[in-house]
Homo-oligomer: A and B are copies of this chain.
Amino acid sequence: MAKRIFNFNAGPAALPLSVLEEIQAEFLDYKGCGMSITEVSHRSSWFDEVINDAVLRVKRLLNLGENYKVLFLHGGASLQFTMVPLNLIADDQVADYVNTGSWSVKAIKEAEIIGKKVRVVASSEDRDFNYIPKDIAFDADAAYVHITSNNTIRGTQWRSFPDTGGVPLVSDMSSDIMGRTFDVAPFGLIYAGAQKNLGPSGVTVAIIRQDMLERVPDNLPTMLKYTTYAAKNSMFNTPPCFAIYVLQLVMKWLEETIGGIANMEEINRKKAELLYNYLDESDFYRGTAEKEDRSIMNITFRLADESLEETFIAEALANGLGGLKGHRSVGGCRASIYNASSLEAVQALVSFMAEFERKHG
């Protein structure tokens, strides 16, 4: 038996054990083809089945209509910070951005680097990004409204999406895609690095609406145009095959083992509630995000005595609970409890936290 810890990493993050076991079992001989999935041509029927099934499952899970395309891109969400404005803001247009933390800041910065006009319509920087701005006035002529649906570093999440009056929403959903149900209709584009809720690092998913594809100018670099990927089923060049294969298996697990996103959300809410309830009842720990905007994916907290945090993280690891260190830019503690983190993992964490409090409180 392999030794396994409870993994609370923010990304790359835990994957379902059954998926890892399936990969391991067929790693030298993929479906009897005599090659590893890492050795199979992306132009083969074996890989075609992988990528087509991955697309289909994403569409089914998110209940996407025919007017949406699912793309597999390179470069992480960070390259999307450039591709989004490059593809979707016309020269005479301005895009509205909501600033809810580091990832929004980077998205805004990259749009400006390529000379696009950006308007920051709201920001939670005034209170260390510990909340989500409300009642925002958007420009009806904006090219799009860009939000970060879940803020991995600060532990906040848009509980409901803002009414933009018809302006297309564009969201970085890297850290909460597939974690809860939502209506995709207002979204022109959703993008997500895979390494949190979808699979391993190395592939980025984009869900793009037809009218957004129609905006893409002809004269962009081929690899930076959404239309390139849409026209070639994400295989204009060699895609990151292994990452797409793992993503396909994670989507299969989400559909067939969990039973879809509604079921997943119920589990996720239970996990988050268990941990937040514990934090709220304790004087030893405290959550850092405003209650009404708390993320169900990344639970950020501090110890009342911050000097104990290093010991807390080290003892947790010694007890088989890994990845609890907060992002290096903010410090503190963080439990990322993405889809593949089980209720059992959160129960183990809460037990450990209680035990640690008894010892050090």
Q: Which residues of A contact B (CB under 8 A)?
A: 2-5, 7, 9-15, 17, 20-21, 23-24, 27-29, 32-36, 38-43, 74-79, 81-82, 106, 109-110, 113-114, 193, 195, 200-203, 219-224, 236-243, 246, 320, 322-323, 328
Contact = CB atoms under 8 A, between A and B. Distances in A.
B28 A24 contact: yes
A250 B79 CA distance: 28
Nearest to A85: B221
Contact of A15 (B3, B12, B38, B43): B38
B74 A75 contact: yes
Contact of A20 (B28, B202, B241): B28
A265 to B, nearest CB: 22
Nearest to A25: B24
A196 to B, nearest CB: 10
A42 B201 contact: yes
Copies of chain A in the complex = 2
A27 B23 contact: yes
Contacts of A81: 221-223
Contacts of A43: 328
Given A74-B76, A240-B243, A241-B202, A223 B322 contact: no
A242 B202 contact: yes
A315 to B, nearest CB: 15
A239 B243 CA distance: 12
Contact of A242 (B9, B17, B36, B243): B243
Contacts of A106: 222
Contacts of A4: 28-29, 34-35
Contacts of A5: 33-35
A223 B28 contact: no
Top 10 A-B residue pairs of the complex, sorted by shortest distance between their CB atoms: A202-B240, A5-B34, A2-B28, A2-B29, A78-B237, A74-B75, A38-B200, A82-B221, A24-B27, A79-B223
A14 B27 contact: no
A26 to B, nearest CB: 9
Contact of A238 (B40, B193, B219, B222): B193
A21 B12 contact: no
A129 to B, nearest CB: 19
Most B CB atoms within 10 A — which of A106, A202, A237?
A202
5 contacts: A4-B34, A20-B28, A35-B322, A82-B223, A110-B223
